[in-house]
Amino acid sequence: MIASHDGRPPRKPPSPQAKALPSRQVTAMRRSLLRWFRKHARPLPWRESNDFYRVWLSEIMLQQTQVETAVPYFRRFIRAFPSLQALAEAPLEQVLEYWSGLGYYRRARHLHQAAQIIVAECGGQFPRDWASVRALPGVGDYTARAILSIADNQPYAVLDGNVARVMARLLALRGNIRRAHFRRTVERQAQALLSRRHPGEFNQAVMEIGQTLCRLREPRCPQCPLRRWCRARRLGQTEAFPEPAPRRPAVRRHLALAVIPQDGRVLVVKGLDEGLTPDLWNFPSAFGSSPQQALRALRRKIGSVTNARLPLSQPVAEFRHNITYRSIRARVYLAKAEVRPPTRRASQHDAAADAGPLTADARWLTLGQLRRAALGQMARKAIQCLRDSPGANFAQLHLHFG
Ligand code: SF4
């Protein structure tokens, strides 16, 4: 059995033996649901086989990402790392490159770490018992249930936001899904309705309904295989279930980013400011509570990274971006590296760094390297804005983000 990666004992599994509702209605409902799924399931790439590795990878990708967004990433990822062994042997940097653009990079780090644990402790065979799966980095209750039910037909009902919405409407359950008590109630109901013969298909069917029909607004009830039994529909109050969860208020932050080109290379550093996305390359950046404060912090940061004072332009582009609860207003500045003779201490990587020896978390990348690098979202957005910005004179700066 795999020990918990954070040192805590894994939580007890939900009881797969929870008693189903003794009703003929439940049997008819399950049949209708499964029939609908077999006919209407979208042909998603991870559904081509129920192999543990593919199911696990898809569930991790889908934790914070819409299905449509995840599909091309999944295809590319599976081509690059066709097996758990291949993923475990790959350098983390390469894994992050293939994750680049998908966001929430901790998922990729956990995936890589978990693959190495499985190879080291289970001979490369994905574990099949609840405690071991739940102990893997990045695997919570929902993901463990999804993996074990879909890949191994074990009778665990899943409960994510989509499933909770379907269940709350189907049974007209009132409450807020963020509250533990209500969550447990919905969990119990989902477990009771679960098909014991086809738990994986049942779970996927409910998820599919939540994603495609039972939408937050304007659910498509006439096409839903559960409509005959749906209490919220009968009450004419589909959108009243479940109660909307209160949102954490957004915190407004200002970010200053510097694009520093020199001789066809551009300066990047690991991580955004304030410890965000620590494994991804970004342009030097700094947060502040006002644009001026962010700019001052950026100047200090550039000084510490390049060991030089580089003059910054007026802002050449602006954009907005949200990261979790942060509502970010970003300004992009250009800087020209000062010419200095390269020092002996300069490594091969920073041989072009006339600005001076770089700190260990910074590099000069050619534009080809920049395109392939594991770049953070803010750097991607900055590049996109600069492409469209008349203020950035690329010919002069030898920068072409083609
Ligand atoms: S009938 Fe409508 S509200 Fe009820 S589960 Fe189906 S889509 Fe959702």
* Segment 353-385, tens digit of pLDDT: 455 667 778 899 988 888 888 888 899 899 888
Spatial neighbors of 161 by CB under 8 A, at least 6 apart, are 177, 210
Residues with CB under 6 A from ligand 1: 166, 169-170, 213-214, 219-221, 224, 226-227, 230, 232-233, 238
| Identity of the amino acid at 377 | Q
Averaged confidence pLDDT in the chain: 86
Helices (H), 16-51: 24-40
Position 2 confidence tier, pLDDT thresholds 50, 70, 90: low
Q: CA–CA separation, 11 vs 161, rounded Å?
A: 21
Taking the centre of ligand 1 as the mean of its atom positions, its distance from the CA of residue 163, in whole angstroms, is 11
Give the residue-averaged pLDDT of 68-88: 97
Q: CA–CA separation, 280 vs 143, rounded Å?
A: 25
Ligand 1 atom at minimal distance to the Cα of residue 166 = 5
Give the residue-averaged pLDDT of 178-191: 89
Question: 239 phi and psi, to 5 degrees?
Answer: -80, -5
Look at residue 402 and tell me whether its pLDDT is greater than 50: no
3-state secondary structure of 275: helix
Q: CA–CA separation, 16 vs 308, rounded Å?
A: 62
Q: CA–CA separation, 130 vs 38, rounded Å?
A: 27
- What pLDDT, on a 0 to 100 scale, did the predictor assign at position 119? 97
| Bridging pattern class, strands 251-259 and 285-288 | antiparallel
User: Is the pLDDT higher at 388 or at 34?
Assistant: 34
Q: What 8-state DSSP symbol labels residue 314?
A: S
- What pLDDT, on a 0 to 100 scale, did the predictor assign at position 355? 58
Residue nearest to atom 8 of ligand 1 (CA): 214
Position 310 confidence tier, pLDDT thresholds 50, 70, 90: confident
Give the residue-averaged pLDDT of 95-112: 90
- 59 in catalytic set: yes
Give the residue-averaged pLDDT of 317-335: 90
Dihedral sign of CA atoms 345, 286, 110, 94 in order = negative
> Which of 186, 230, 235, 241 to probe ligand 1 with, by most ligand atoms within 8 A of CB?
230
Give the residue-averaged pLDDT of 219-247: 92
3-state secondary structure of 180: helix
- What pLDDT, on a 0 to 100 scale, did the predictor assign at position 7? 55
Look at residue 341 and tell me whether its pLDDT is greater than 70: no
| Identity of the amino acid at 258 | A
Taking the centre of ligand 1 as the mean of its atom positions, its distance from the CA of residue 216, in whole angstroms, is 10
Look at residue 246 and tell me whether its pLDDT is greater than 90: no
Q: Is residue 170 classed exposed, middle or buried when 0-12, 13-18 and 19+ CB atoms within 10 A define those classes?
A: buried
Inter-residue long-range contacts of 123-127, CB under 8 Å, 24+ positions, other chains counted: 124/84, 124/85, 124/88, 126/52, 126/53, 126/56, 126/84, 126/151, 127/1, 127/2
Give the residue-averaged pLDDT of 310-334: 90
> Which of 163, 208, 213, 220 to probe ligand 1 with, by most ligand atoms within 8 A of CB?
213
- Lowest mean pLDDT segment, chosen from 49-58, 59-68, 337-346, 352-361: 337-346
| Domains along the chain with CATH numbers | 24-240 (1.10.340.30), 251-397 (3.90.79.10)
Q: CA–CA separation, 397 vs 229, rounded Å?
A: 65
* Tens digit of each residue's pLDDT (9 = 90 or more) over 265-287: 899 999 888 888 888 899 999 99
CB atoms within 10 A of CB 359: 13
- What pLDDT, on a 0 to 100 scale, did the predictor assign at position 279? 80
Position 104 confidence tier, pLDDT thresholds 50, 70, 90: confident
Look at residue 313 and tell me whether its pLDDT is greater than 50: yes
- What pLDDT, on a 0 to 100 scale, did the predictor assign at position 4? 59
Position 1 confidence tier, pLDDT thresholds 50, 70, 90: low
Taking the centre of ligand 1 as the mean of its atom positions, its distance from the CA of residue 63, in whole angstroms, is 23
pLDDT > 90 fraction of the chain, expressed in percent and rounded = 59
Catalytic option among 59, 97, 187, 208: 59
Spatial neighbors of 323 by CB under 8 A, at least 6 apart, are 276, 377
- What pLDDT, on a 0 to 100 scale, did the predictor assign at position 5? 57
Taking the centre of ligand 1 as the mean of its atom positions, its distance from the CA of residue 231, in whole angstroms, is 9
